[in-house]
Structure 1
Amino acid sequence: MATSIWFVLLASLGAAHVVTTVFRLTSLLSFGLRRPKDLRRRYGSWAVVTGPTTGIGRSMALELAAHGLNIVLVGRDPAKLRDVADAIVRSHAVQTKTVLFDFSLISTVQGEKAMAALREAVEGVDVGVVVNNAGVVRPGAMFLHEADVEALVRMIRVNAVALTEVTAAVLPGMMERGRGAVVNIGSGSSDTLPSFPLYSVYAGTKAYVSVLSRSLSVEYKSKGIDVQCQVPLLVKTNMISDAVKNVFLPLFLVSPEAYAREAVRAIGHGRVCVPSAVHRLQAAWSILPIPEFVVDSYRLRLHLQQRGIKSSRSPHTSQDRLLDYQDVGRKTS
Structure 2
Amino acid sequence: MTFSRSPMEFQDFILIAACSLGFISLCKTCIRFLKWVWVSFFRPAKNLNEYGSWALVTGSTDGIGKALAFELASKGINLVLVGRSPSKLEATSNEIREMFAGKVDVKGIVIDLAKFSGEKISNMVEDGIKGLDVGILINNAGMGSPYPMFLHEVESEVLESLVRVNMDAATWVTRAVLPGMLQKKKGAIVNIGSGSSMAVPAFPLGTIYASTKAYMAMFSRCLSLEYEKRGIDVQCQVPLFVATKLIRRLNDTASLFTPTAEMYSKASIRCIGYEHICTPYWLHSVQWFLIQRLPDALLNWYLFELLNKSRKRRMEK
TM-score computed with the length of structure 2 as normaliser: 0.88
Q: Give the deviation of 1:257 after TM superposition.
A: 0.8
Question: Relative to structure 1, is the Cα distance of residues 243 and 168 closer, same or farther in structure 2, using a 3 angstrom cutoff?
Answer: closer
- Report the AA paired with residue 300 of structure 2: D
- Report the AA paired with residue 235 of structure 2: Q
Contact 2:121 2:169 survives alignment (8 Å): no
- Aligned equivalents of 2:36, 2:202: Cα separation in 1: 21
Contact 2:147 2:314 survives alignment (8 Å): no
Instruction: Using the TM superposition, name which of 5-14 and 80-89 deviates more.
Output: 5-14
Question: Relative to structure 1, is the Cα distance of residues 10 and 261 closer, same or farther in structure 2, using a 3 angstrom cutoff?
Answer: same
1:133 is the counterpart of 2:140: yes
Q: Give the deviation of 1:160 after TM superposition.
A: 0.5
Question: Relative to structure 1, is the Cα distance of residues 297 and 65 closer, same or farther in structure 2, using a 3 angstrom cutoff?
Answer: same
Query: Which residue is equivalent to 2:4?
Result: none
Query: Which residue is equivalent to 1:63?
Result: 71
Query: Which residue is equivalent to 2:3?
Result: none
Match of 2:60 among 27, 43, 52: 52
- Report the AA paired with residue 306 of structure 1: S
1:105 is the counterpart of 2:105: no
Query: Which residue is equivalent to 1:260?
Result: 265
Q: CA RMSD in A?
A: 2.6
Query: Which residue is equivalent to 2:157?
Result: 150
Q: Give the deviation of 1:194 after TM superposition.
A: 1.0
- Report the AA paired with residue 73 of structure 1: L
1:275 is the counterpart of 2:284: no
- Which structure 2 residue ranges, 5 or more long, are not aligned? 1-6
Q: Give the deviation of 1:250 after TM superposition.
A: 2.2
Match of 2:176 among 169, 180, 192: 169
- Report the AA paired with residue 59 of structure 2: G
SS at match of 1:105: coil
Q: Give the deviation of 1:134 after TM superposition.
A: 0.3
Query: Which residue is equivalent to 1:330?
Result: none
- Report the AA paired with residue 99 of structure 2: S
- Aligned equivalents of 2:270, 2:91: Cα separation in 1: 25
- Which structure 1 residue ranges, 5 or more long, are not aligned? 314-333
The count of aligned residue pairs is: 305
Contact 1:49 1:72 survives alignment (8 Å): yes
Question: Relative to structure 1, is the Cα distance of residues 210 and 10 closer, same or farther in structure 2, using a 3 angstrom cutoff?
Answer: farther
- Aligned equivalents of 2:75, 2:305: Cα separation in 1: 43
1:95 is the counterpart of 2:105: yes
Match of 1:238 among 235, 239, 245: 245
Query: Which residue is equivalent to 2:224?
Result: 217
- Aligned equivalents of 1:312, 1:6: Cα separation in 2: 64
Q: Give the deviation of 1:87 after TM superposition.
A: 1.0
- Aligned equivalents of 1:8, 1:197: Cα separation in 2: 48
- Report the AA paired with residue 96 of structure 1: V
Query: Which residue is equivalent to 2:289?
Result: 284
Max Rg structure: 2
Q: CA-to-partner distance for each residue in 1:176-217, whole Å, 9 max, x for gaps? A: 001000000000111211111110110000000001101111
SS at match of 1:228: strand
Match of 1:251 among 248, 256, 280: 256
Query: Which residue is equivalent to 1:307?
Result: 311
Question: Relative to structure 1, is the Cα distance of residues 174 and 99 closer, same or farther in structure 2, using a 3 angstrom cutoff?
Answer: same
Match of 1:196 among 198, 203, 211: 203
Contact 1:24 1:287 survives alignment (8 Å): no
Q: Percent identity over the alignment?
A: 41
Contact 2:60 2:69 survives alignment (8 Å): yes
Contact 2:147 2:310 survives alignment (8 Å): no
Contact 1:51 1:58 survives alignment (8 Å): yes
